[in-house]
């Protein structure tokens, strides 16, 4: 079982979670920068995507996005509906209501 901690440092994860503690303060761009994901290799980004895709469907669905922060820390909060929808809209390039594997690198680099 791959863990995000094998790709990101504890300090990076803490910085990311710190940036969005309050409800509706989550901004995926800020978060990706804080956890250092925007500077990782394509391969590492693919691994992160695999961890987030909990049901291994090849897509990250709304329910998985809602619990996005919990992948980084079990004590993290769930995203609000507004945050989840904004996050989904940003990564859902073809409007099918989920984020596909093709969109994943663009998604993290955006």
Binding-site entries for Ca(2+): 53, 55, 57, 59, 64, 92, 94, 96, 98
User: Would you list which residues are annotated within the binding site?
Assistant: 53, 55, 57, 59, 64, 92, 94, 96, 98
Contact call for residues 78 and 67 (beta carbons, < 8 A): yes
Distances from the Cα of 60 to the Cα of 3, 22, 66, 105, angstroms: 17, 23, 10, 13
50 phi, psi to nearest 5 deg: -60, -35
Structure tokens at 108: 């993290």
């Amino acid at each position: 079982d791959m863990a995000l901690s094998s790709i990101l440092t504890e300090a990076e994860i803490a910085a990311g979670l710190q940036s969005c503690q309050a409800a509706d303060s989550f901004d995926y761009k800020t978060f990706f920068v804080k956890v250092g994901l925007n500077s990782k290799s394509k391969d590492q980004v693919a691994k992160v995507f695999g961890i987030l895709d909990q049901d291994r469907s090849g897509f990250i669905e709304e329910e998985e996005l809602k619990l996005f922060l919990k992948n980084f820390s079990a004590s993290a909060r769930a995203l609000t509906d507004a945050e989840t929808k904004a996050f989904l809209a940003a990564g859902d390039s073809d409007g099918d209501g989920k984020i596909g594997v093709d969109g994943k690198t663009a998604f993290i680099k955006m």
